[in-house]
Structures are given as structure tokens and as C-alpha cells.
């Protein structure tokens, strides 16, 4: 095989020959190939017979470039000059189901002014690509990557929506399922029809010999309703790998044709104006006997190659890894060692989400502080996606070792958190629901909206004003931590007005067996519009909306929250107080959170020598710190030197 420099030169020559030198943006593309071509070919060569597979990939790149219009190419040029756009303190995320938010893409277009007024600059629409009919894992069983759900709109309308979002300063994120396709996908249908080319797009075995060997170490994602990792298919006359559900077939990423297919899919989405791809189920992409087949090294090699492909073709696009893993594993999805800074641009900070809820339940931040200390620094070109709630359940990812080191039993603490947020623990106002209980150890995950888990729903039912005020303060304290951590804060649809659990899913035959739909309510536009218009200032929805909008405005004014600098987490005096330190050339920021129902005292020594006059950016007050300041229950302060 030729050396990487020779392969790179040959690929560049092929690319230039395909696009010419006079086509629109040709030199830009070639310049970007000079910058990122080595990263692409270095990774690609680790996976595939490159001298035969690489020319096919270059053909995909050239064809996609020739279909990329001038408007998007100009966006590429601007983003090349502002590659840290997603790290900016001004980047504010919003996550929504398109149909539940505004019925369809045309409805979303009408709601762009609402998002802009709230301060949103990044919109993630949960799965909108065409899923299989019937059960489809919430849209993650895709049967056509080049079409949308028919009730949402067309690909042409997607491009129109992207343009309208861009005009309002909002970037668009979509999901791309990498690990599997629906059994109705064209590739699967051709495999079933006996086409050997497409049969090799999947893992198919004639008997249980190899599947049984894999099963010895594999975990089960949905043991209750999708046990095992392989499904017999009569038309295939074989056992096909199905990690998630029997109708979701895992694709074979060891086949270079599969890589080229997905590169072309990414290019097509980019050419429809998509700015960020959420790489769904990324951890499961590579299979190796004797392992759990999650997070294998090749996953990160594949991601480097895909990212380099996108950097060359459409540098305005970034990648977000859907990697719900522990502190020791998550760094690899940003890139470590030879892949540092070359893999995903964003990843979810699942641990922070879990630790916020854990600290609220325990009224103790010691586990949070210890767990957060285990996260090493990220490449300074990347950022966290930070969230309090999402469309999924909460898995109580408490590491046994972390728990032990702060005097807790991991199993017992996970059980406590489930009990607490189901409202079964004394003093809890939470109204969550158990999800996927383990019949052996009793551990389970939790479903519920953020507002309901914080106790707002129960307080309203009890008609107790004091408890309601406390629950709202608790909820807003938690969300302010999300906005203050740096990275992209992700506001889940309706959380800005405190939407509560929605039990109407029980009336829907396609949803009633999955209680995660309890925290996927339709957007209440009557309330949202009234809150945004200032008509509900004395009501819970209006109070929540105003506070979140205020925190967004404050965050955007603080360069210290640019994500290129990491947040350090430490304990304050007294259980329940946690401090986020932001050491930044633009000015240090010290954020203080009281995650307890009791008042606390913040001593001046806890402000790391920030004596004399300080400014609390959340209130706008400047004052002498003296010996310290009091903290009311669930009070938040963002301090800097005046």
C-alpha cells in the first residue's frame, strides 16, 4: 500500500479532476482538502482496503460538492473563519419534536420568531427522517435517510426551514442513526431479496453459533420488550444483528461501501442546510467478539474519517456524539491520543445531568464534586452539550467507585434516586415514573418532565404556595447550572414554561407501553405565547419563562462562558452548596448554587480571594463582599470582580 502522503496526493488529484478548477468553490474545496485530507485518509486507511475504497469516497465528495449551492458555500466560508461558533457564550440550544412543537416544518417556520425572542441560536429537531410504519423506536428506525416523515414535510421544505432559521441566526441540528436501519430500508429489502452486495451491509449468520458467542458478553438495551441481540429473518434465512429492536438491523461498518453510503447521506443533509448531525447510537458501530461491542477503538477512527470528510466538503457542519457513557469513556468521543480534536465537536454531559438531580435529592453535592473531578480537559476546540432533561429517560448512572469514595453504596444510591423522583421518598414532591425496572436488583430508570421531577406538578395539586415557590426555585436553580456550565445549554421543548407530565400517551395504542412519552407533551402555545407576552408574570409558567430568558441574556453577556475553557467544580461550605469556577482571560467567574431547602452562608474565602467589590451578574448588583453573603434556599449567584 502507498504511504499516506502519496495516497493523499493521489486523492487530491482525483478530486481536482472530478470538480475541475473553474467550478464554483473548487479552490476552497481543494484548500480544505489540503488541510483535512490527511486526517481523512489516515483514518480511512486503518479501516478499509484504501486503494480500492478511497476512489469511491472521493467520487461521493466531488458529486456532493457540485450540488452544494453558493449560499451554503458562503456559509462554509464564514464558519471556517469562526470555527468556534458553537463554543460561544451566545450559543443557546433548544430541542424539540417537530410535530409536538409546531405540527410540521411549516409550523416551525411560524415559530422561529418565538425562538429568536427567547434567545435560541441552535435548534435540534428530534428524528424527522422517514421511519418505518408502526413501531419505530420514537423515529429512530429509519427506512429512508433521503426523505422526511410525510406529515412533517419534504426535503425541499427542510431546506426552506433551514434557510429561514439561518436568516434568524439559528443553526439546525438533525439526528442521524449510524448503528442501524429499519428492516424496511432499501438496503435490508435488497438483502432479503438475495443480493449479496447488500447482505454484506449487515451482520447475518446462518445459525446461532456465532451469535451465541457474541451474546456471552453483550448487554441488552431493552431487555423487557427486545431481549437478545439477534433476530431470525425468514427471508434472509439467517440471524441478523439487532441491538435495539427486532426491526432495527445493525449495519456492517467494516464494509467500506457502508461508510461511503453514510458519507453520501451526511453530504445530502448538509446540502439541505443542516448545520449539526447528532450521531445517534454511535457507541455501537463496531463489533468485536468478547466485548460488549460498545465504544470500540474503531468507532473513533470511523468518526474521525467522517468528520474530516465533512470538514472538507461542508465545514459549516459539526458533529455531536450521542454517547451516554461514564467519565472514563466520554473523552474518546471528543478525541484522545492520535484522535485528539479530530472526532466529535460536541458530546452530551450525561453525568452532569445525573449529578444535578442526585444533589437535589440528597441535598448534598459531595458526589457531584467528586464525579466532576474525574473529567479531564477536553480539546479546546470542542464543547459539551449540557442539559437538565431530554426526550429520553434518566438512567441513574452513578459509578460504584465514585459512590464508595464519598461514603455511599452505588446500588443503594441508585435505588434512592429512583424512589425519590417517583415521589416515594419522604419529603419528595417529584412525580416521575419508573422505566425499565430490573426484576433482579430493583434498579430502574426514571421518566418525567423537569418541572414534574422538581416538584412543581405536586405543589400545584396540593395548592401549597410555599411548596410551589420552593419547587420553582429548585427547578430554576438546576437550569441555571446548565446555562452556567459552558458548552451549549440545551433547553428541552416546553421547559421554558415548566410543562408538566402528560398522561395522554396512555390513550395512544402506539405509545402507551412506553412511559417516556409522559415527558414528551405537546407544546402549549396558549401558555407559551402568553408567557412571552408578559401576561403570566405572576403565574408559574410566566415566572419560569422570565427567569430562563433573563439567564440566557446574562449568559450571552459573559465571554467567560466561552466553552474553550473548562469549568471546575468544587464544594462550598455546608452540604448542598456547589461552586463552579470559570478561569478565563476575559475575567474569572465564580458561580454559586445552593441546592438545598435551607439557607446557607457563603464565606468570602470561598470566592478564591475575590475580595472588595464584586458584581452578581444575575441580579446586576455590585457590592462589598465583606465576610460573605447569605444564600437563600436554591439561590444562585454568578460573581466576578467589580
Catalytically annotated residues: 280, 322
- From the list 77, 135, 51, the residue with the least C-alpha distance to 315 is 77
630: left (phi over 0), alpha (psi -120 to 50) or beta: beta
Grid cell in block for residue 427: 419529603
β-sheet bridge partners, residue 408: none
Distance (Å) of CA 418 to CA 7, 254, 448, 453: 54, 39, 11, 11
- 579 and 631 Cβ atoms separated by less than 8 Å: no
Distance (Å) of CA 521 to CA 3, 100, 390: 55, 7, 12
DSSP-based three-state secondary structure for 94: strand
- From the list 341, 342, 340, 243, the residue with the least C-alpha distance to 283 is 243
Residue 401 to residue 371: CA distance in whole angstroms: 10
- 431 and 458 Cβ atoms separated by less than 8 Å: yes
β-sheet bridge partners, residue 570: 579
CA 371 to chain centre: 20
Grid cell in block for residue 305: 474519517
Residue 265 to residue 259: CA distance in whole angstroms: 10
Q: What angle do CA 94, 95, 99 make, to 5 degrees?
A: 125
CB atoms within 10 A of CB 75: 20
CA 639 to chain centre: 29
Amino acid at each position: 500500500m502507498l504511504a499516506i502522503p502519496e495516497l493523499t496526493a493521489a486523492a487530491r488529484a482525483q478530486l481536482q479532476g472530478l470538480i475541475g478548477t473553474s467550478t464554483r468553490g473548487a479552490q476552497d474545496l481543494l484548500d480544505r482538502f489540503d488541510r483535512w485530507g490527511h486526517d481523512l485518509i489516515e483514518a480511512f486507511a486503518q479501516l478499509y482496503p484504501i486503494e480500492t475504497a478511497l476512489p469511491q469516497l472521493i467520487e461521493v465528495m466531488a458529486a456532493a460538492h457540485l450540488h452544494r449551492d453558493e449560499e451554503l458555500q458562503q456559509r462554509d466560508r464564514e464558519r471556517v473563519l469562526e470555527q468556534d461558533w458553537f463554543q460561544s457564550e451566545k450559543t443557546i440550544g433548544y430541542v424539540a419534536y417537530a410535530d409536538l412543537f409546531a405540527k410540521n416544518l411549516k409550523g416551525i417556520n411560524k415559530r422561529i420568531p418565538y425562538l429568536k425572542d427567547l434567545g435560541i441560536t441552535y435548534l435540534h429537531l428530534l428524528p424527522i427522517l422517514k421511519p418505518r410504519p408502526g413501531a419505530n423506536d420514537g423515529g429512530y428506525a429509519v427506512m429512508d435517510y433521503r426523505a422526511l416523515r410525510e406529515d412533517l414535510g419534504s426535503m425541499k421544505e427542510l431546506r426552506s426551514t433551514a434557510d429561514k432559521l439561518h436568516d434568524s441566526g439559528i443553526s439546525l441540528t438533525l439526528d442521524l442513526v449510524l448503528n442501524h436501519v429499519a428492516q424496511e430500508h432499501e438496503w435490508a429489502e435488497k438483502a432479503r431479496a438475495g443480493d449479496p452486495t447488500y447482505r454484506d451491509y449487515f451482520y447475518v449468520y446462518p445459525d446461532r453459533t456465532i451469535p451465541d458467542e457474541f451474546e456471552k458478553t453483550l448487554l441488552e438495551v431493552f431487555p423487557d420488550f427486545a431481549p437478545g441481540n439477534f433476530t431470525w429473518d425468514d427471508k434472509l434465512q439467517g440471524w441478523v444483528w439487532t441491538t435495539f429492536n427486532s426491526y432495527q438491523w445493525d449495519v456492517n461498518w467494516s464494509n467500506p461501501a457502508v461508510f461511503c453510503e453514510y458519507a453520501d447521506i451526511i453530504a445530502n443533509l448538509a446540502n439541505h442546510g443542516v448545520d449539526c448531525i447528532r450521531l445517534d447510537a454511535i457507541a455501537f458501530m463496531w463489533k468485536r467478539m468478547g466485548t460488549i461491542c460498545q465504544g470500540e477503538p474503531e468507532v473513533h477512527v470511523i468518526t474521525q474519517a467522517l468528520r474530516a470528510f465533512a470538514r472538507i466538503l461542508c465545514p459549516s457542519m459539526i458533529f455531536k456524539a450521542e454517547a451516554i457513557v461514564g467519565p472514563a469513556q466520554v473523552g474518546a468521543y471528543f478525541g484522545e491520543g492520535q484522535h485528539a480534536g479530530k472526532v466529535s465537536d460536541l458530546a452530551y454531559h450525561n453525568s452532569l445531568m445525573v449529578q444535578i438531580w442526585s444533589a437535589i435529592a440528597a441535598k448534598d453535592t459531595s458526589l457531584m464534586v467528586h464525579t466532576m473531578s474525574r473529567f479531564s480537559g477536553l480539546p479546546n476546540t470542542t464543547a459539551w452539550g449540557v442539559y437538565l432533561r431530554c426526550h429520553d429517560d434518566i438512567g441513574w448512572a452513578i459509578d460504584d467507585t465514585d459512590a464508595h469514595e464519598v461514603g455511599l453504596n452505588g446500588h443503594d444510591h441508585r435505588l434512592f434516586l429512583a424512589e425519590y423522583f417517583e415521589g416515594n421518598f419522604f419529603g419528595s414532591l417529584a412525580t416521575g415514573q419508573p422505566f425499565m425496572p430490573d426484576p433482579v436488583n430493583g434498579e430502574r430508570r426514571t421518566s418525567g418532565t423537569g418541572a414534574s421531577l422538581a416538584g412543581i406538578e405536586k405543589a400545584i395539586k396540593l395548592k401549597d404556595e410555599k411548596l410551589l415557590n420552593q419547587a420553582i426555585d429548585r427547578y430554576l436553580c438546576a437550569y441555571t447550572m446548565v446555562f452556567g456550565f459552558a458548552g451549549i445549554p440545551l433547553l428541552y421543548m416546553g421547559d421554558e414554561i415548566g410543562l408538566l407530565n402528560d398522561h395522554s400517551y396512555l390513550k395512544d395504542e402506539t405509545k402507551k407501553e412506553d412511559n417516556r412519552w409522559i415527558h414528551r407533551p405537546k407544546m402549549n402555545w396558549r401558555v407559551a405565547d402568553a408567557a412571552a407576552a408578559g401576561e403570566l408574570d405572576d403565574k408559574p409558567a410566566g415566572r419560569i419563562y422570565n427567569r430562563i430568558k433573563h439567564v440566557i441574556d446574562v449568559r450571552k453577556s459573559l465571554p467567560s462562558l466561552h466553552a474553550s475553557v473548562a469549568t471546575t467544580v468544587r464544594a462550598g461550605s455546608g452540604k448542598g452548596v456547589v461552586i463552579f469556577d470559570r478561569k478565563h482571560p476575559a475575567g474569572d467567574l465564580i458561580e454559586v448554587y445552593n441546592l438545598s431547602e435551607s439557607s446557607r452562608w457563603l464565606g468570602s474565602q470561598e470566592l478564591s480571594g475575590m475580595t472588595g467589590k464584586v458584581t452578581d451578574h444575575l441580579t446586576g448588583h455590585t457590592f462589598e463582599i465583606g465576610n460573605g453573603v447569605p444564600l437563600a434556599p436554591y439561590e444562585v449567584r454568578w460573581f466576578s470582580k467589580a
